[in-house]
Every structure is written in structure tokens, then in C-alpha cells.
């Protein structure tokens, strides 16, 4: 455990992260403050996050974040929908 109160580990779901926006009652000023922070997100089962708007919302809310995605079932070109692969999203 760090003695520095600014060092934090937060465990959440990707669904909750995608809800950080004004339409879910979060003030824009708070979102802007959060977006300025440097963060690292480690996403398990990342193959589930490439569909819909969840990941787009997270990337827009946390523009300075570094994303690491782990999956046992990656989406490749041959099984991709709309030409979106796990590599396209996470590198």
C-alpha cells in the first residue's frame, strides 16, 4: 500500500466506465477534470468491449488513458463484425 493518497487502484466494470458522462448525472466540469488525468486501464475480456459505443465513450472521456486489453478469444479479421478487430482497438 502506498502512503501517497494520490496513488489509487480502482476496480470497476467497463459498463460503469462507459456511463461517466453528463446524461448519467456527472457534471461536465468533473468529466473534464477526470479527462486531464493520466490513467492506465487494464481490461479483461476486452473482446467484449469492441462492439457498440462503450469503448468509444471511454476513450472520449479518458483521452490520456493507456489501455491494455486481455482476451482469450480475440476477434481477428476472419471473425470480425464491421471490420473491427481486437488489434484495431488495442494495438
Contact between 56 and 30 under an 8 Å Cβ cutoff? The reply is no
* 42 vs 82: CA distance, rounded Å: 24
Fold of 14-90: Rossmann fold (3.40.50)
> What are the sequence ranges of the domains in the chain?
14-90
User: Can you tell me the mean pLDDT for 9-26?
Assistant: 83
pLDDT digits (tens, 9 = 90+) for 40-59: 888 887 766 656 678 888 88
pLDDT digits (tens, 9 = 90+) for 59-89: 888 889 998 888 877 778 887 777 777 777 7
pLDDT at 7 over 80: no
pLDDT at 29 over 90: yes
- The secondary structure of the chain in percent helix, strand, coil, rounded to multiples of 5, reads 40, 15, 50
Cell of residue 24, nine digits: 448519467
Beta strands in the chain (DSSP E): 40-44, 66-70
Amino acid at each position: 500500500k502506498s502512503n501517497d493518497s494520490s496513488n489509487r487502484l480502482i476496480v470497476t466494470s467497463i459498463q460503469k466506465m462507459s456511463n461517466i458522462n453528463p446524461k448519467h448525472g456527472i457534471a461536465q466540469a468533473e468529466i473534464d477534470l477526470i479527462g486531464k488525468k493520466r490513467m492506465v486501464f487494464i481490461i479483461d475480456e476486452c473482446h467484449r468491449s469492441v462492439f457498440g459505443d462503450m469503448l468509444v465513450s471511454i476513450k472520449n472521456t479518458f483521452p490520456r488513458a493507456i489501455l491494455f486489453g486481455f482476451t482469450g478469444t480475440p476477434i481477428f479479421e476472419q471473425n470480425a463484425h464491421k471490420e473491427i478487430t481486437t488489434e484495431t482497438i488495442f494495438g
